[in-house]
Amino acid sequence: MSIFDKFLRIRELGIFSIIIIVVITASIIDSRFLTIDSWRAVFLAIPLILVMAMGQMMVIICRHVDISIGSILAFAAITIGFVFIHYPNTSLLMALFITASVGTIMGLVNGIIVTRFNVHSIIVTLGTLSLYRGLVFIVSGGRQIDRNDIPVHIISFSQTSFLFSIPAILILSVIIVLITHLIMRHSVLGREIYATGSNPEAAHLKGINVTKVTLFCFGVCGMLAGVAGLFYASRFGYVNPGVTGVGIEFIVIAGVIIGGTSITGGSGSVLGTFLGILLLGIINVALPVLNIPGEFQKAIYGLIIVLALSLDQLIIFRMKKLGGGANA
Amino acid sequence: MIGRSIEDIDVKENDYLKNNETILSVNNISQYGNFKNISFDLKKGEILGFAGLVGAGRTEVAKTIFGAENFDEGEINFKGSVISNKSPHEAIQKGFAYVPEDRKQMGIFGSVAVEDNITSAIPSEISNKFGLISKRSVSTKSEEYINKFNIVLTSGRQLIQELSGGNQQKCIISKWLLSNPSILILDEPTRGVDVGVKSEMYEIINQLAAMGTAIILISSELPEILSLAHRIVVMREGQITKILDNKDASQETIMKFAISA
C-alpha cells in the first residue's frame, strides 16, 4: 500500500476536505476571512465546545448519548459563580476542581440511572436536562452572575495571552484533547469503550465490566461539561440561569457526528471530532464576516451541517468502492 | 472440493486422556426454568460433546459454567475446589473461555479492527503498567494466529465485520486461544462456516485437546459431534438423558435420547 493509498483511506479525510472547501469558498467571497483575526475568533470560540465534545464522543462511542450537558454546564457555572461571590480569591485550579467535581457527579447520576435501571440514555438525559436546569434556577433563585462577580484572574484565563499570545483556555483544551486521544487510542480502557459500544453483549462475555465502562464515559462527559461551565463564566463574563448552555448539546452532538463518530457506537476518533468542531467554528465565524444577514445565518448554518454530513458519507462510500475500506 | 472428505476425521485419543485427570466436575446444578440436575465430569484433553435439540438447555448450561448466568442449586468443582463464577471476568481469570453460538450478536466487535478483536481477551499482555497499549505486541500476537489459521484479510487493521463468517470465527477462536484457556467452551463453532474452514477447525479442536485443553463442544450437527467428541452428553428439555461413550454412540442412539428418554 503506497503512502498515497494510505492517505486516501484515512477516515477523517472527508471532513478535512469539507473544511478546505468551506475555507476556500469563504476566502474567495471575502478575503477578510483569511486574516489572523478571524482565525483567532475561531480558536477562541471552540475550546468550550471542543472540551464538551470530547466527553460526548466517549459517551456516543459507548452507544449512549448525553443531552443533559447544557444543563450540567449551567449548573457548574452557576455554582462556581456563587463560590466567586463569596470567595473572590478562589484560585483557577480550585475553580477547575469544583466545576469538574460538580460535573462528574451529575454525569455519574445519568450513568447510574442508565446502567442500574436499564433506561435508554436519551430518555434519562432528556429528563435530567430539565431536572438539572431546574436545579440551576433553584440554586440561583433566578439571579444572574454578573461580570463584576467574576474575579479578574478568571476572566483573564480566557482573554489574555498566556504563551505566544495564546490564552490559557486554549492550551488547557488542547491538553484535554491530547489526554482523550491517549485514552481512546492507546489504552486498554479506550479499547474497552470501543468494544462496549461495538457489541455490549460480546464485551460482557469477554469479561469487560460494561457497567463500569459506561459509568466512566458518563462521568467524564459530565466532568468536561462542568469544566466547560468554568470556561463559559470566564469567556462570557456572566452566567444566566435561563440562557447559559441552552441548546449547546445539539452543537456538540452535531460536531461529534460530523466528525465521523457513528451514532450506533463503536467507532469514532478524537481527530475526527476535533475537525468536526473546527468546521462548526469556522462556519460560525465565516457567516458574519461574509455579511450574511442575521436572519439567514441560522438556516445556512444548519444547511451546511446537512451538506457536510451527506458529503462525508459520499466520500466514505467512494473510498469503500476504491477497495479495502476505510481505516478505523 | 477441499482435497479430502470431512467424514475421514476420527476421534483422536491423546496422552492427557490416559491420565484421567478430572479438571471440572459439575454436580447437580439447576437453573429454575431452564435446566435441572446437570452433572458431568470433564477431563484434561477431553472433548465432551453436548448433543440435543435446540432449546434443550445446552447453551444455558455453558453460559452458567462461564459465569454469564447464575445457577440456583448445585456446585461446580474446578481443579478440586468449589467455585462460583459471578461474572465472565472471574471465569476468564481462572482459565475459562467461551466461544458463543451467535457470532455477530455475542462474539465480534464489528466496528473494531481484526488485530484488536484478536487481542481483546489479553489486555494485560499487550499493555504496560499504565494501561497503555503496545501496537507492536498487538500486531505480533495477532499475526501469529492470522498465519497459523490462514485467516484471509488485507491487513490486520481491517474491520472484522468485513471478513467472511468463517474467518470471523477463526478470529474469535484465536482470541480465546491467546488467553491459554484450560477449559474451552465451543457453542456451535461451525455454524454458518464453509466446508473448508470446518475441517480446519476440527483439526484445531483436536490439536487443542492433544495439548491438554478440556473442551466442551456444543453442536447440533451429529456427524461433527461423532467425529470429534470422546464422550457425548445428550440433553432433553433441560435434563441430561444420557452420557454416551463415543464407541457406543451413533446418530440413531443420540436422537433416541434427545427426543425421548
H or E element in which residue B51 lies: strand B47-52
Confidence of residue A321 (pLDDT cuts 50, 70, 90): low
Nearest CA in chain A to B95: A207
- In CATH, what number is assigned to the domain containing residue B261? 3.40.50.300
> A285: which residues sit within 8 A by CB, 6+ positions away?
A38, A41, A42, A45
Could you tell me where the beta strands, DSSP code E, fall in chain A? 161-163, 166-167
Is A216 in CB contact (< 8 Å) with chain B? Answer: no
Q: Do B15 and B34 lie in a common domain? A: yes
Q: Is residue B208 part of a domain?
A: no
Nearest CA in chain A to B93: A207
Q: Do B78 and B119 lie in a common domain? A: no
Q: Do B78 and B137 lie in a common domain? A: no
Long-range contacts of A185-189 (CB under 8 A, 24+ apart): A185/A269, A185/A270, A186/B132, A186/B133, A187/B127, A187/B130, A187/B131, A187/B132, A187/B133, A188/B123, A188/B124, A188/B126, A188/B127, A188/B131, A188/B133, A189/A213, A189/A216, A189/B131
Q: Do B168 and B88 lie in a common domain? A: no
Is the predicted ipTM greater than 0.90, yes or no?
Answer: no
Q: What are the Cα distances from residue A305, in Å, to A221, A261, A267?
A: 23, 15, 20
Q: Are B227 and B210 in contact (CB under 8 A)?
A: no
Is A141 in CB contact (< 8 Å) with chain B? Answer: no
Distance to chain B for A100, nearest Cα, Å: 23
Q: Do B141 and B90 lie in a common domain? A: no
Nearest residue, CB atoms, B158 vs list A194, A208, A325: A325
Within 10 A of A171 (CB to CB), how many other CB atoms are there?
14
pLDDT of A91 higher than 60: yes
pLDDT of A327 higher than 60: no
Report, as an integer, the average pLDDT of A129-143: 89
pLDDT of A261 higher than 80: yes
Q: Is residue B115 part of a domain?
A: yes
Q: Do B69 and B4 lie in a common domain? A: yes
pLDDT of A325 higher than 50: no
Report, as an integer, the average pLDDT of B248-260: 84
Nearest CA in chain A to B90: A207
Confidence of residue A216 (pLDDT cuts 50, 70, 90): very high
Is A202 in CB contact (< 8 Å) with chain B? Answer: yes
Contact B132 A189 (CB under 8 A): no
**Angle subtended at Cα B94 by Cα B90 and Cα B99, rounded to the nearest 5 degrees:** 80
Q: How far apart are CA A317 and CA B132, in angstroms?
A: 33
pLDDT, residue A227, reads 94
Q: Is residue B7 part of a domain?
A: yes
> B133: which residues sit within 8 A by CB, 6+ positions away?
A186, A187, A188, A191, B126, B127
Contact B158 A187 (CB under 8 A): no
3-state SS, residue B223: helix
Q: How many domains does chain B have?
A: 2
Contact B106 A188 (CB under 8 A): no
pLDDT of A1 higher than 80: no
Contact A195 B133 (CB under 8 A): no
Q: Do B134 and B175 lie in a common domain? A: yes
Q: Which amino acid belongs to residue A307?
A: L
Q: Do B132 and B168 lie in a common domain? A: yes
pLDDT of A12 higher than 60: yes
What number of CA atoms fall less than 13 Å from residue A56's CA on the CB side?
A: 38
| pLDDT tens for each residue of B187-209 | 888 887 888 888 888 888 888 88
Residues of B in contact with A198 (CB under 8 A): 109-112
Confidence of residue B177 (pLDDT cuts 50, 70, 90): confident
pLDDT, residue A11, reads 67
Report, as an integer, the average pLDDT of B105-132: 80
Report, as an integer, the average pLDDT of A135-150: 85
Share of chain A above pLDDT 90, in %: 29
Confidence of residue A9 (pLDDT cuts 50, 70, 90): low
Residues of B in contact with A327 (CB under 8 A): 157
Report, as an integer, the average pLDDT of A281-299: 81
| Residue A13 or B40, more confident | B40
Q: Is residue B207 part of a domain?
A: no
pLDDT of B155 higher than 60: yes
Q: Is residue B49 part of a domain?
A: yes
Residues of A in contact with B68 (CB under 8 A): 204-205
The 3-state secondary structure of A229-294, one letter per residue? HHHHHHHHCCECCCCCCCCHHHHHHHHHHHCCCCCCCCCCCHHHHHHHHHHHHHHHHHHHHCCCCH
Domain-terminating residue out of B180, B199, B221: B180
Q: Do B48 and B106 lie in a common domain? A: no
Share of chain B above pLDDT 90, in %: 5
Beta bridge partners of B217: B49, B186
Q: Do B89 and B6 lie in a common domain? A: yes
pLDDT of A203 higher than 80: yes
Contact B154 A324 (CB under 8 A): yes
| pLDDT tens for each residue of B1-49 | 444 454 545 777 777 777 778 888 888 888 888 888 888 888 888 899 9
Confidence of residue A326 (pLDDT cuts 50, 70, 90): very low
| pLDDT tens for each residue of B66-118 | 888 888 888 888 888 888 878 888 888 888 888 888 777 777 887 888 888 88
Is A207 in CB contact (< 8 Å) with chain B? Answer: yes
Contact B98 A205 (CB under 8 A): yes
pLDDT of B168 higher than 90: no
Confidence of residue A71 (pLDDT cuts 50, 70, 90): very high
Report, as an integer, the average pLDDT of B50-72: 87
Q: Is residue B202 part of a domain?
A: no
pLDDT, residue A162, reads 66
Q: Give, to the nearest 10 degrees, the angle between helix A168-186 and helix A210-236.
A: 170
Confidence of residue A144 (pLDDT cuts 50, 70, 90): confident
Q: Do B5 and B89 lie in a common domain? A: yes
Residues of B in contact with A266 (CB under 8 A): 109-112
Q: Are strands B183-187 and B214-218 parallel, antiparallel or unpaired?
A: parallel
Domain-terminating residue out of B180, B203, B238: B180
Q: Do B122 and B144 lie in a common domain? A: yes
Is A187 in CB contact (< 8 Å) with chain B? Answer: yes
Q: Are B57 and B35 in contact (CB under 8 A)?
A: yes
Q: Is residue B195 part of a domain?
A: no
| Residue B125 or B186, more confident | B186
Q: Are B117 and B175 in contact (CB under 8 A)?
A: yes
Residues of B in CB contact (< 8 Å) with A are: 66, 68, 87-89, 91-93, 98, 100, 105-113, 116, 120-121, 123-124, 126-127, 130-133, 154-155, 157-159, 162, 175
Nearest residue, CB atoms, B157 vs list A189, A191, A328: A328
Q: What does the DSSP 8-state code read for residue A187?
A: B
Q: Which amino acid belongs to residue B157?
A: R
Q: How far apart are CA A79 and CA B259, in angstroms?
A: 68
- The C-alpha cell that represents A228 in the structure block: 466547560
Q: Is residue B197 part of a domain?
A: no
In angstroms, the first-to-last Cα distance of chain A is: 16
Q: Domain range for residue B135?
A: 101-180
